[in-house]
Amino acid sequence: MPGGRRCPDCDSTELVEDSHYSQSQLVCSDCGCVITEGVLTTTFADEGHLREVTYSQSTGENEQVSRSQQRGLRRVRDLCRVLQLPSTFEDTAVAYYQQAYRHSGIRAARLQKKEVLVGCCVLITCRQHNWPLTMGTICTLIYADLDVFSGTYMQIVKLLGLDVPSLCLADLVKTYCSSFRLFQASPSVPAKYVEDKEKMLSRTLQLVELANETWLVTGRHPLPVITAATFLAWQSLQPSGRLTCSLARFCKLANVDLPYPATSRLQELLAVLLQMAEQLAWLQILKLNKRSVVKHIGDLLQHRHTLVRKAFRDGTAEMEACEREVQGQRQGEEEVGDSSLDLPVRKRPASPALLLPPCMLKPPKQLRPTPPVCTVTGDENISDSEIEQYLRTPEEVRDFQRAQAAGQAAKSLPNP
C-alpha cells in the first residue's frame, strides 16, 4: 500500500494499484474513487526513453521454427531416407541444418540456396561418418547445379567451422562397383559378360590403388578413375571374350553413366601398366600394346609394388639429390663432411619413366615471354601525347554520334 495516502472521499488507507485496460490507476478499494491515473498517451520524448519491441520479438519469429525451416528439415529427413542412411545420420544432418539456419545470411537466402543447403548438410554428415556419397549423386537428387552446390557447400563449411574429411576412396570403389549390373545374366547382359562380384571388386581396388600410387588420382575427380579401373578389371578377368567391348558399351551394359574423363583415365592407366610390363622378363619379348596388356593385368597386379619401383624413376628423389649436392657445396665451409653423408645419387638408366603426375609430364606450355622488367617508380611524368592517344578527336566524336543515331533509327524502323 502506498504509504500515507488517503482516499479524498472516504478517508480510507486501502488504496490499490489497479489498471483499467492499459491505463494504470490508483483506486480506493472501499469507495472506488480513482485517486490518480496513468498517462494514456505518450509524448515523443517519453517514447524515446521506452524500450521498443522489435517486430521479430513481438511475433516471436526467432523462437519459433519458421515454415521454410520446417520444410527444409522435412527435406533433410526425406533425403536421408531416400539414400537409406542410418537413423543417426538423420539427426546429425537435421542438427547441422538448424545450426546453419541460425545465421542471418542463411535465413535471408533464396529458396534455391536453402534447397541446396539440404543437400550440403546430408553430404557433410555422410563424409564425417565415412559414408561414400559423391556430390554428383546429391546434385542429381536435389536437382541442383554443381556450381551452385559448390558455392553453398564451401560457404557452409566455413560458416559452421566444420572439419569435413576427404572422400574415402576404398568405400567409394565398393559402393560404385556394386552398382554395376554385371553380376547376373539378364536379357541385356550375355553370359560371357557376367562376372563374380568379389573378384571384380578386389581387382578394381588393386587397380585404383595403383592409380593412386602413380599420381593418377590426386587433383582429379575420383569417379572416372574408378570407372576406368572397373572396366579394366572386368576385361582382364576374361580377356578372350571381352577385349572387343569398348568402355562406352561396358557402361551401357552395366547401366551406369559414363563420366567424360574416364576415357583419358583409361589411357593413362594403360600407359602405366605398359611401363610396368616392360620390367617383366616374360612380357618384354611379347611387345605388348594397350590392347594386349589387358591379358596380363593379373600378373602385373600381383607384383605391382616391385614393378612400380623398378619401372619408374622417382623424379623427386633425383631432384632432391641434385639440390643436396648444390647445398652441400654451399655449406661446405660451415659443416665439414656434409658431402660424405649425402645419399649416393641413384644411378638409374635413362629409360625408366619419371613417376610424376600427367600434368608435369606434358611438355610445358609456351608461356608469353615476360616483358622486360623496367624499373617504374610510379611517380613519373605522364606526357600529354601519351594521354592524347586515348581521346577521340572532335571529328571522330561527331562521326560516332552520327553512326549511333543511324543505328538507333534502323533499330526503331519496323521490319519490312
Partner 1 sequence: MDQNNSLPPYAQGLASPQGAMTPGIPIFSPMMPYGTGLTPQPIQSTNSLSILEEQRQQQQQQQQQQQQQQQQQQQQQQQQQQQAAAAAAQQSASQQAPPGAAGQTPQLFHSQTLTTAPLPGTTPLYPSPMTPMTPITPATPASESSGIVPQLQNIVSTVNLGCKLDLKTIALRARNAEYNPKRFAAVIMRIREPRTTALIFSSGKMVCTGAKSEEQSRLAARKYARVVQKLGFPAKFLDFKIQNMVGSCDVKFPIRLEGLVLTHQQFSSYEPELFPGLIYRMIKPRIVLLIFVSGKVVLTGAKVRAEIYEAFENIYPILKGFRKTT
- For residue 365, with 0-12 CB atoms within 10 Å meaning exposed, 13-18 middle and 19 or more buried, which class applies? exposed
Q: Report in angstroms the alpha-carbon separations of 289 from 130, 171, 278, 293.
A: 39, 32, 11, 6
Residues between 262 and 321 with contacts to partner 1, criterion CB under 8 A: 305, 309, 314-317, 319-320
Number of residues forming the site for partner 1 (CB under 8 A): 73
Q: Report in angstroms the alpha-carbon separations of 292 from 24, 200, 235, 244.
A: 98, 19, 11, 11
Interface with partner 1 (CB under 8 A), residue from 23, 59, 140, 327 = 327
Inter-helix orientation angle 169-178/197-213, to 10°:
140
Distance of closest approach, residue 349 Cβ to partner 1, in angstroms: 19
Interface with partner 1 (CB under 8 A), residue from 23, 62, 267, 331 = 331
Q: What 3-state class would DSSP assign to 163? A: coil
| CB contact set of 54 (below 8 Å; sequence gap of 6+) | none
- Looking at the Cβ atoms of 63 and 388, the one nearer to partner 1 is 388
The reply on whether position 209 binds partner 1 by CB under 8 A is yes
Residues between 80 and 139 with contacts to partner 1, criterion CB under 8 A: 128-130, 134-136
Residues between 388 and 407 with contacts to partner 1, criterion CB under 8 A: 388-392, 396-397, 400-401
- Looking at the Cβ atoms of 29 and 212, the one nearer to partner 1 is 212
- Looking at the Cβ atoms of 48 and 364, the one nearer to partner 1 is 364
Interface with partner 1 (CB under 8 A), residue from 89, 131, 193, 215 = 215
Stretch that binds partner 1, among 157-165, 180-188, 238-246, 248-256 (CB under 8 A): 157-165
Rg, Å, the chain Cα set? 38
One symbol per residue from 350 to 389: x for binding partner 1 (CB under 8 A), - otherwise; what is it? -----xxx-xx----------x----xxxxx-x---xxxx
Q: Are strands 34-37 and 23-28 parallel, antiparallel or unpaired?
A: antiparallel
Distance of closest approach, residue 414 Cβ to partner 1, in angstroms: 23
The reply on whether position 324 binds partner 1 by CB under 8 A is yes
- Looking at the Cβ atoms of 366 and 389, the one nearer to partner 1 is 389
Stretch that binds partner 1, among 83-91, 213-221, 230-238, 262-270 (CB under 8 A): 213-221
Interface with partner 1 (CB under 8 A), residue from 153, 176, 231, 250 = 153
Stretch that binds partner 1, among 5-13, 72-80, 150-158, 230-238 (CB under 8 A): 150-158
C-beta of residue 121 within 8 angstroms of C-beta of residue 96: yes
Interface with partner 1 (CB under 8 A), residue from 154, 185, 403, 406 = 154
The reply on whether position 336 binds partner 1 by CB under 8 A is yes
Q: Which residue has the cell 561527331?
A: 398
The reply on whether position 165 binds partner 1 by CB under 8 A is yes
C-beta of residue 114 within 8 angstroms of C-beta of residue 106: yes
The full DSSP string for 309-323 is HHHEE-HHHHHHHHH
How far is Cα of residue 129 from the mean position of the Cα atoms in its chain?
17
- Looking at the Cβ atoms of 7 and 124, the one nearer to partner 1 is 124
**27's grid cell:** 483506486
Q: Which residue has the cell 601519351?
A: 386
One-letter amino acid of 139:
C
